Structure formats: structure tokens, C-alpha cells
Chains A and B, each alone.
Chain A
């Protein structure tokens, strides 16, 4: 499932008429503009003076670039009672995200290893059930899960947001299992003859070969955790424990008249880490998504 490489496999392309190629480019450029527009508009708003957010027709290129809008957005409302610095939300999000990613990588890989490379009774049936659970809508689980965490006294803490990650997720298990299956069994058998335990084979033979797949799981978990809105909305009570999602929402509603330039600066800061991570891991990321649609 290599996206770039398959281009190479294709037969020598027939020369397409110049007009067709040109038309394709025009359509692509127009659509790119359409798709990029909201993001460019956000950037433009985030760095312009407040007066220029309220003009019609809008100003695209600000008269001066106010990079100071970013620190201003972070400290906006600091004179108000009960002010929570934006950076606290960032720290909270980071805690939840790092714990979730760590938990997901550890648990999903070991579980997927079991599904892919160890034989045990009921394994394939259970794997089928595991796949089927991906169809269960989250709202169905909402009440009992909430009641459970309430009973455990975890409501108001970060635990409901990251502890489940340590117990695996169907999608990640599926993704890793497919990958583990492509690693030749002979490697495991050779290691076994050398006296390696199953856990050593997992750690020293299979896991190192599965780095790209593990990266995909780490990335998806990062995205899920960073983007999660309903989880924090249900479980976080005190505003000082809010994550960025909740923080941004509070930011938009509570101050009422939050100036648009600062709101867009804050929005941009929430989006930016995701985009940065994407650019560093683009290839792995796209492959992961592409694979998820196949069988």
C-alpha cells in the first residue's frame, strides 16, 4: 500500500493532451484554494489588529503583522476572577496525551502480538468480536462508563481519559495485528531455538521490525487524545483541569466578546501541534490511514 511507489509501477504513460493536463491543474488549484481558504483566513485573522477583523470587505493581508496576538491570546482575561492560563490547558492536554499514547503503544502491541503470532483457543473468534466492537457507537457506553468511573471516584481526575488506553483499542489492535502477520514466522522460530522467551521475541525481534506500525498507532492515539472533546466534557469538572479542547470552547463562550483575532490565534495554537506532528510523520500517517480502509 505504497502511495507514491505505485505511480512508478504504472506503464509508461500515454501522452495526455496538454489541454487535459492544464484543465486538471486548474481544477486542482481552484479546489486547493477552496480547501486552504478557511485555514489561511484563520492565520490572517490571528495576526491582524482587531480593527481589521471588522471590515467589509475583509482585509486579507494585515497592515501590520501582530505576532503579539499569540501571547495576548494566551493571557487574555488574566485580570478576570478565576482566570486559568491557557498554558495550563496545554499542560493538561499534554499529560493526558502522553499517558494515552504510552499506554496505547504498550498494550496494543502486546495484545496484537498475541492475536497475530501465538495460537490459543478462541483466538480467531475473539478477534472477530474485537473487530465487531468498532461498530458500537460511543454514546451507548456513555452512562455505564460514567457510572463506573464515578463509583471509582475518578470523575474530576484525568484517569478516565488515559487509563482505558492501557487496555487496548480494537482499531489499533487490528492495525498492528495485520502488520505483525507480515513478519516471517521463521524469525520467531529461530529466536525460539536460541532460547528466547516469547516476551523476548516480542521485544527484540518483532517490535523493532514493526516500528512504522507502532508509529501509526502512536499518531492515531495522539490525534484521538488531543482532539477528544466529549471525554473531557464528561469527566473534567474543575476548570484548572481542562484540556485544550474544553479550554478553547470555554474561551469562546465564557468571555462572550473574545476578540476574533485572539480567538483565531488560540484556535491556531490548538491546531498547530497536530499539523507539526503530521509534517514530521507524513508518510507513516498516510500509509496508516490508507491501510485502515483495506479489508
Chain B
């Protein structure tokens, strides 16, 4: 009888999430799939139009533009943030004095809200009075037109992403501190120097953490929206910062093409899944899991 009672109470306790899961996740995922085959706006109820949204999608240049922008951004932001975050974590893990101070400094940027990031970096990258160009001038480098040149605008966003890598850094640091000291000692007996220890002990041991952060980074980067929305209205210059989510948002809310936006959502879902699976597959041979 206890078991029945447990089941009843268990489900009762879990019921907020059961409802939340059904209403805010399961239903929208299914509904957006159904909507993707309809013509639908706030004014018009959904009307089935078969595969029309998808066939329009494959012919839509803006769709490709936004998709390529997003993939390029992801390809820049994820590796750069990963390298920066691991490098910072390795440095912090050397256990020098003042580690808590440095850790705080590196972490603080990741606390800055997206919109504030946008306004702040509009000013940092400002062509005339921005601090970055001033620093570059001092070392006699002609600064590019960060915000106005299509070739550079995306890279400013990638740099901002790397600046805010503090959360990943903390996760790496926790992973580094879990690496058993005995492994380093064994490596030293074998005559390994710092770099060899890093490459042959540290990195393999934290590889599951790297995989976790990279997958989360990919999922996040594919959804990049707020910072470019604030910094580059309309995806300026020349749509070089018009991202997938920007286009999806504009379709859903601005143009009221909700069926089309739903089709875009599902394509994004599939791309995310494929990239995640690809990361898992590619990492198979490199990620090392401790037994047990």
C-alpha cells in the first residue's frame, strides 16, 4: 500500500513540472511542428499549406544569409571562448597568491546583462573615442571599422563572447581541481614537463567537461540574439550581423509569418541536434571517462 501512496504523493509533488513540461515544452514543440505546415498569424487562424513554408525556406536568401552568419559566429565564438576559458582556468589552477581576486575579475564580465553588454561595447568599440582604438593607436595599429565594416562586425561579437566566458571558466576550474594529484606525480616520475603534463594528463582528464561546455556553447551560440540586436539594429552592416534567431524573431513577431517562423524553429532544432550529435561523435575518441 505504501507504494501506491508514494506514487500518488510523488506525482502530486512533481505536478507543477508535469504541467510545466506539458504546457511550456511538449505542447510548443509539437505545435510548432504542426504550425510549420500552416499559414498563420495573429489575425488569421492557421491554415494548412503543406510544405510551402519549407519550400520557401530553401529558396529564401535571407534565410541562408542568417544561417551562414550564425554558423560563422558559432565557429568563431565557441572555439575562442573555449580556448580562453581553459587558458584562464589553467592559470588560476597554478595556485598562485591572489587567486580569488583574479578569479573574480575574470568572472565579473559573465555577469553583465546582455543589453548592458551591447551598450557597453558600442562604446568600447566606438571608432572615434572608444578605448580599444586608443590602445591600438598607441601600439601603432590602424584599427578597422569594428562596427561599420561587414568583415569585422561579427568578430566584435565573437570577442564579446570570449570576454564573457567566466561561467565556462569556473566549470573548467572545478574540473581541473578534480584531477588526482597522483596522476601528475606519476607523469613527473616519467619525466614529463609542464606542457607534457597539461597535454597528456590535464586535458584528457577534463575532456568530459570540455565536451559539456562545447555542446552548451554551441546550443547557446546558435541562439545568439540580444547583443547583436542592441549593437547592430537590423543586422547592420550589410546584414552581416543578422542572425538566425533575429530572422526568426522578425518573422514571428514583426512580419506575423508565424507558420514560416515555426518552420525556421524546427530547422533550427534539427541543426542543433545534428551539431550536438556531431560533437559527441567527433569527441568519442578524444573524451576520456574515468571508470566508475
Q: Which residues of A contact B (CB under 8 A)?
A: 1, 3-4, 6-7, 9-11, 13, 21, 24-25, 27-28, 31-32, 35-39, 41-42, 45, 53-58, 107-108, 110-111, 113-115, 118-121, 123, 126, 129-130, 133, 135-148, 150, 164, 166-169, 173, 198, 202, 223, 226-227, 229-230, 233-234, 244-246, 248-249, 252-253, 260, 263-264, 266-267, 270-271, 274-275, 278, 282, 286, 289-294
Rounded to whole Å, the gap between the CB of B184 and the closest CB of chain A is 9
Q: Is the interface of A mostly helix, strand, loop or mixed?
A: helix
- Decide: A140 and B131 in contact? CB cutoff 8 A: no
B residues lining the A interface (CB < 8 Å): 3, 6-7, 9-14, 16-21, 23-25, 27-29, 31-32, 35, 42, 88, 91, 94-96, 98, 100-109, 111-116, 118-124, 126, 128-129, 131, 134, 137-138, 163, 167, 170-175, 177-178, 181, 185, 209, 212-213, 219, 222-223, 225-226, 229-230, 233, 244-245, 248-249, 252-253, 258, 261-262, 264-266, 268-269, 272-273, 276
Cβ contacts under 8 Å, B137 to chain A:
57
Q: How far apart sit A42 and B163, CA to CA, in the bound complex (Å)?
A: 15
- Determine the chain B residues whose CB is within 8 A of the CB of A35 once the complex forms: 105-106, 108-109, 163
Which of chain B's residues has its CB closest to A197's CB? B9
Query: Which chain B residue has the least Cβ–Cβ distance from A235?
Result: B253
> Assuming A119-B10, A126-B14, A278-B108, what are 13 further A-B pairs, CB within 8 angstroms?
A6-B177, A35-B109, A38-B163, A41-B123, A56-B129, A57-B134, A110-B16, A118-B6, A136-B269, A143-B35, A143-B265, A148-B23, A271-B111
Q: How far is the CA of A29 from the CA of B277 in the complex (A)?
A: 39
A267 touching B116 in the complex, CB below 8 Å, given contacts A3-B177, A229-B226, A293-B175: yes
Q: A248 contacts B115, CB within 8 Å?
A: yes
- List the 5 closest A-B pairs by CB distance, nearest first: A167-B20, A293-B171, A120-B10, A290-B174, A114-B13
A249 touches B269 (CB 8 A): no
Task: Report yes or no: B119 in contact with A248, Cβ–Cβ below 8 A.
Answer: yes
> In the complex, which residues of chain B have a beta carbon less than 8 angstroms from the beta carbon of A41?
123-124, 131
A150 touches B42 (CB 8 A): yes
Find the B residue at minimum CB distance from A266: B119
Task: Compute the total of residue contacts between A and B using a CB distance below 8 Å.
Answer: 292
User: Across the interface, do A140 and B113 meet the contact criterion of CB distance under 8 Å?
Assistant: no
Chain A residues contacting B134 (CB-CB under 8 Å) are: 56-58
Please tell me if the beta carbons of B96 and A271 are within 8 angstroms of each other in the complex.
no
CB-defined contacts of B209 to chain A, threshold 8 Å: 293-294
Pick 26 A–B contacts, CB within 8 A, sort by A: A1-B178, A7-B95, A25-B96, A38-B121, A41-B131, A45-B123, A118-B6, A120-B7, A130-B21, A135-B276, A137-B219, A141-B29, A142-B32, A142-B248, A142-B261, A146-B253, A166-B20, A167-B19, A229-B225, A244-B115, A245-B115, A263-B123, A271-B112, A278-B111, A291-B174, A293-B174
With contact pairs A135-B273, A260-B123, A260-B129 given, residues A114 and B14 touching in the complex (Cβ less than 8 Å) = yes
A31 to B213, CA, bound (A): 22
Q: How far is B92's CA from A25's CA once the two chains are assembled, in angstroms?
A: 10
The answer to whether A168 touches B28, judged by C-beta atoms less than 8 angstroms apart, is no
Known contacts A10-B181, A28-B96, A136-B25; A230 and B249 CB within 8 A of each other? yes
Chain B residues within 8 Å of A173, by CB: 17
